[in-house]
């Protein structure tokens, strides 16, 4: 009996801490299958995962690249597994069934399921509530008639960048519904539901564009102008193209060939659906929350003042997001002087809230 008790005491901690990390061969198998099924555009689960990665910001600016390179982005892989768990109704048996359908090796199924459930079971209630809201609002991925889908081309891999450099009628669906998806046409993410004015206001669809003529085709020549532009630091950025200039929906686009496309916003109250859900006028607290941790900005009234110095390894790190902040309440010198000059300011400082720091300008750069 003592031996049994001793054995239980020895095994129990191991069991409780089991599958806190996936083996490299399992990650290889899992991410390969997820990428293949996503590119084939025949797996509703992978479409759901991709949409939620984009919605949450975990998918970066190029969801195709993220979905096919999950192995090299552990944070994105964890987020993908969380959303696959959500898609499976936070039910272990349903998750196992979906993993088998995904086509991963038999000996990978249970480790992946155990790892996922252990990591995200504490979020199950919130995930289920969020999914129910998606179903109710018609936000779930939609399946068109069989045979109408085309596979997405494999995106060209690109090297990672530093923190501030590169950046159908809906209907409810269940986790077990098989089928195909709508005609993608390009390597852009699944298109958003068109607005009543006929324009697609989802910014993610524009990052694959490489020529101003493509902008004109989408929004009309009469809504596109060009002139010189400056970057977040005030330096000359060359020629930019402005869509809907001098309106609340003004958007600045700079093409840099195969190096990517930079899209900048300076107007509040825009219709554009921006990546990560952040926009001009958003408070600093919101950006910090989406980033997942405090970050550093350069002191105001100085060189590069108000721009992000480092995302500190948060969700925006290496994702091609640059932000310029401004302080609305600068009347008290004792407060404002604490965050001016050649210093790096951590965004968890309480003085920033008192100064009402908000987003003044934001740029997304694809790679």
Q: What is the DSSP string of 25-36?
A: HHHHHHHHHHHH
**How does pLDDT run across 124-159, given as a tens digit for each residue?**
999 999 999 888 887 777 655 555 555 565 554 443
Q: Which CATH class is domain 201-367?
A: mainly beta
Given a cut of 50, whether residue 170 has pLDDT beyond it is no
Burial 218-257 (b: 16+ CB within 10 A, else e): ebeeebbeeeebebbeeeebeebbbbbeeeebbbbbbbee
Closest among 293, 332, 339 to 316, alpha carbons compared: 293
Given a cut of 70, whether residue 30 has pLDDT beyond it is yes
Residue 201 contacts by C-beta under 8 Å, 6 or more apart in sequence? 192, 195, 271, 272, 273
Q: Which two tokens stand for residue 361?
A: 């300008």
Higher pLDDT, 200 or 160: 200
d(CA 239, CA 209): 16
Q: Where are the beta strands (DSSP E) in the chain?
A: 224-230, 236-243, 251-255, 261-265, 296-298, 308-310, 321-327, 344-346, 357-365
**How does pLDDT run across 310-364, given as a tens digit for each residue?**
999 988 888 889 999 999 999 999 999 999 999 999 999 999 999 999 999 999 9
51-55, 106-110, 177-181, 257-261: range with highest mean pLDDT? 106-110
Q: Which two tokens stand for residue 201?
A: 């206001």
Given a cut of 50, whether residue 111 has pLDDT beyond it is yes
**Which residue ranges make up each domain of the chain?**
2-137, 201-367
What is the chain's mean pLDDT, rounded? 81
Is the CB of residue 323 less than 8 Å from the CB of residue 283? no
Looking at residues 186-194, what average pLDDT do you find? 40
**Where is 51: in which H helix or E strand?**
helix 44-56
pLDDT of residue 241: 94
Other CB atoms within 10 A of residue 103 CB: 13
Higher pLDDT, 231 or 321: 321
* Rounded (10°) CA dihedral 192, 30, 167, 302: 130
């Amino acid at each position: 009996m003592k031996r049994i008790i001793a054995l239980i005491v020895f095994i129990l901690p191991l069991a409780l801490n089991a599958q806190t990390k996936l083996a490299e061969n399992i990650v290889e198998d899992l991410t390969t299958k997820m990428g293949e099924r996503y590119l084939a555009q025949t797996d509703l689960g992978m479409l759901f995962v991709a949409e939620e990665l984009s919605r949450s910001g975990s998918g970066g600016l190029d969801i195709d690249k993220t979905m096919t390179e999950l192995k090299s982005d552990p944070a994105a892989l964890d987020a993908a597994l969380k959303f696959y768990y959500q898609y499976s109704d936070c039910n272990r048996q349903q998750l196992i069934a979906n993993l088998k359908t995904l086509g991963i090796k038999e000996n990978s199924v249970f480790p992946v399921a155990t790892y996922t459930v252990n990591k995200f079971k504490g979020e199950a209630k919130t995930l289920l509530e969020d999914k129910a809201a998606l179903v109710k609002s018609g936000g779930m991925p939609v399946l068109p008639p069989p045979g109408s889908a085309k596979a997405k081309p494999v995106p060209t891999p690109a090297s990672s960048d530093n923190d501030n450099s590169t950046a159908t009628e809906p209907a409810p669906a269940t986790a077990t519904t098989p089928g195909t998806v709508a005609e993608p046409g390009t390597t852009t993410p699944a298109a958003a539901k068109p607005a009543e004015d006929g324009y697609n206001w989802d910014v993610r669809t524009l990052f694959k564009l490489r020529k101003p003529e493509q902008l004109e085709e989408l929004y009309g020549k009469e809504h596109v102008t060009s002139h010189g532009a400056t970057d977040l630091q005030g330096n000359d950025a060359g020629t930019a193209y402005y869509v809907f200039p001098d309106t609340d929906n003004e958007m600045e686009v700079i093409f840099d060939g195969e190096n990517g496309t930079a899209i900048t916003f300076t107007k509040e109250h825009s219709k554009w659906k921006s990546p990560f859900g952040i926009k001009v006028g958003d408070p600093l607290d919101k950006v910090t929350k989406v980033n997942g941790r405090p970050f550093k900005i350069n002191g105001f009234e100085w060189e590069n003042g108000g721009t992000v110095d480092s995302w500190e390894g948060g969700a925006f790190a290496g994702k091609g997001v640059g932000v310029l902040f401004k302080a609305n309440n600068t009347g008290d010198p004792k407060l404002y002087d604490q965050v001016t000059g050649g210093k790096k300011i951590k965004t968890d400082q309480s003085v920033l809230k008192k100064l009402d720091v908000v987003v003044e300008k934001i740029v997304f750069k694809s790679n």
